[in-house]
Amino acid sequence: NVTEIYNFSAGPAVMPKSVVKKIQAELPSYKGSGMSIMEISHRSSLYVDMQNEAESDLRQLMNVPDDYDVLFLQGGGTLQFDTIPLNLARREKTVAVVDSGHWAVRARQEADLLPGISTYAAASGEAENYTKLPYSLNLDRPCDYVHVTLNNTIEGTMYRKLPDVKGNVVVADMSSNILAQRYNVEDFGLIMAGAQKNIGPAGLTVVIVKHSLLDESQNLPSMLDYVKLSKKHSTLNTPPVFAIYAAGLVFKQLLEEGGVDAAQKRNEEKSRLLYEFLDNSKLFKSPVFADDRSTTNIPFVTGDEELDRRFIKEADEAGFKNLKGHRLVGGMRASLYNAFPLKGVRALVEFMEKFETEIK
Ligand code: PMP
């Protein structure tokens, strides 16, 4: 008899209910055109105005300086693991990666597949099973940039401040905490994020890149070339129109709700509630070092795999959906992105308290 469900999915993930309702209401006829947003040309002014507005709202939300390009691309974070080094690893042909977890490892593996480009780990959290963030970097070998995963979606760690990169350019994978945590765009040469966690539907990848880092003469294959993509305002080919439209609605909603700073405050409140419970529980615990804990992705375990499975099953039946941890680490994971409501965390904590009492 579940009347309301709570969706803890790590991505694709929960979106604001008001946005989903707005999409539903205006889907048959976008702005009175008699056509849905999915059915109009990406060259029409109706579409172009929509994309421009989405870009300007995103710029406002993140305080993006004018000398940064904002690109709406496809291929997810994973394609960016190739596109970034192709565009930015030109001089030294070397990428220093901060090995803070699975997605940092994947970034490194992809860059290593590119002919002529090599990578090294500037630091690694592997010895601590990625439960603690590496902060002390060894950057003795020259590199074109340092790749940092600001929020480690699987391991549940988050950089609140950047490690000392000794003057090198920083490339940030912000996939799982873009718009959820305030960062200063000027600290980065490039920021990338798939939309499917804090923004909207999968299919859109946001890239924010400092224009002066790009080389006008690089002439890469067009869809991998930030210079060409930027010149064509991300419409070098047909863009993911629906995902950009939905993202634009989320940006508007977030502006109305006080922007990124307000979202961060809400995320801190939500995650604090769960962490406090975990730290006081005799059954559940957080495996992550306290100072490095993410506000958006919160893994937890009972220490007994059988009990974890039982908890996930009973939670699912009670309306707490997608709490199963990533297949690489097991246990549970609650993803509390921007659109996840505080009352959902309260309800989860109550459910966990009850579970803990009942299994005694
Ligand atoms: N980086 C991080 C931090 C992620 O969490 C993910 C996806 N979970 C990716 C990269 C890969 O993104 P995509 O699935 O969009 O390729």
Same domain for 241 and 286, yes or no, is no
13 occurs within a structural domain: no
| Residue 96 near residue 141 (C-beta atoms within 8 A) | yes
Instruction: Find out whether 78 is annotated in a ligand binding site.
Output: yes
CATH number at residue 162: 3.40.640.10
Same domain for 276 and 244, yes or no, is no
| Residue 165 near residue 155 (C-beta atoms within 8 A) | no
Across the chain, what does the average pLDDT equal? Answer: 97
Q: How far is the CA of 61 from the centre of ligand 1 (A)?
A: 22
**Would you state the structure tokens that stand for residue 44, as one six-digit string?**
């029409």
Indicate whether 360 pLDDT > 80.
no
Confidence of residue 1 (pLDDT cuts 50, 70, 90): very low
193 occurs within a structural domain: yes
The predicted structure's pLDDT at residue 350? 98
Q: How far is the CA of 81 from the centre of ligand 1 (A)?
A: 10
Instruction: Find out whether 173 is annotated in a ligand binding site.
Output: yes
Same domain for 234 and 293, yes or no, is no
| Residue 333 near residue 326 (C-beta atoms within 8 A) | yes
Same domain for 252 and 298, yes or no, is no
- Annotated catalytic, 304? no
179 occurs within a structural domain: yes
Indicate whether 158 pLDDT > 50.
yes
Indicate whether 106 pLDDT > 90.
yes
With a threshold of 0.85, tell me whether the complex ipTM lies above it: yes
Q: Provide the pairing of β-strand 118-124 with 145-149.
A: unpaired
CATH number at residue 289: 3.90.1150.10
Same domain for 45 and 70, yes or no, is yes
The mean pLDDT of 31-47, rounded to a whole number, is 97
Give the atom of ligand 1 at the shortest distance from the alpha carbon of 153: 5
| Residue 294 near residue 302 (C-beta atoms within 8 A) | no
Instruction: Find out whether 196 is annotated in a ligand binding site.
Output: yes
Q: Which of 201, 227, 256 is the last residue of a domain?
A: 256
| Residue 229 near residue 206 (C-beta atoms within 8 A) | no
| Residue 298 near residue 277 (C-beta atoms within 8 A) | no
Residue of 173, 225, 292, 308 marked active site: 173
What's the rounded Cα separation, in Å, for the pair 351 and 208?
40
Q: How far is the CA of 150 from the centre of ligand 1 (A)?
A: 12
The Cα-based distances of 77 to 89, 173, 175, 279, 340 in angstroms read 17, 8, 7, 33, 22
Instruction: Find out whether 131 is annotated in a ligand binding site.
Output: no
Give the atom of ligand 1 at the shortest distance from the alpha carbon of 80: 16
Q: Which of 256, 272, 288 is the last residue of a domain?
A: 256
Same domain for 114 and 157, yes or no, is yes
pLDDT in tens, 172-206: 999 999 999 999 999 999 999 999 999 999 999 99
The predicted structure's pLDDT at residue 329? 87
3 occurs within a structural domain: no
Ligand 1, CB within 6 Å, residue ranges: 11, 76-78, 103, 149, 153, 173, 175-176, 194
14 occurs within a structural domain: no
Same domain for 272 and 166, yes or no, is no
Same domain for 150 and 266, yes or no, is no
Same domain for 54 and 180, yes or no, is yes
| Residue 149 near residue 100 (C-beta atoms within 8 A) | yes
Same domain for 109 and 194, yes or no, is yes
Identify the H or E element spanning 343: helix 342-358
The mean pLDDT of 315-344, rounded to a whole number, is 96
Indicate whether 269 pLDDT > 70.
yes
Give the atom of ligand 1 at the shortest distance from the alpha carbon of 149: 3
| Residue 360 near residue 319 (C-beta atoms within 8 A) | no
4 occurs within a structural domain: no
| Residue 261 near residue 102 (C-beta atoms within 8 A) | no
The predicted structure's pLDDT at residue 327? 86
Confidence of residue 121 (pLDDT cuts 50, 70, 90): very high
In this structure, the residue with its CA closest to atom 3 of ligand 1 is 175
Indicate whether 89 pLDDT > 80.
yes
Instruction: Find out whether 43 is annotated in a ligand binding site.
Output: yes
Q: How far is the CA of 76 from the centre of ligand 1 (A)?
A: 7
Q: How far is the CA of 176 from the centre of ligand 1 (A)?
A: 8
Instruction: Give the number of domains in the chain.
Output: 2
- Annotated catalytic, 354? no
pTM: 0.98
Site to probe by mutation for ligand 1, drawn from 175, 190, 296, 297 as the one with most ligand atoms within 8 Å of Cβ, is: 175
The mean pLDDT of 131-157, rounded to a whole number, is 98
Residue of 197, 210, 270, 324 marked active site: 197
What's the rounded Cα separation, in Å, for the pair 168 and 179?
24
Domain, as residue range, for 317: 260-358
Same domain for 176 and 45, yes or no, is yes
Give the atom of ligand 1 at the shortest distance from the alpha carbon of 11: 8
In this structure, the residue with its CA closest to atom 10 of ligand 1 is 77
* Residue-wise burial string across 107-116, b where 16 or more C-beta atoms lie within 10 A, e elsewhere: bbebbeebee
135 occurs within a structural domain: yes
Confidence of residue 4 (pLDDT cuts 50, 70, 90): confident
Identify the H or E element spanning 50: helix 45-62
Q: How far is the CA of 132 from the centre of ligand 1 (A)?
A: 20
Same domain for 152 and 234, yes or no, is yes
The mean pLDDT of 305-331, rounded to a whole number, is 95
- Annotated catalytic, 265? no
Residue of 103, 144, 225, 308 marked active site: 103
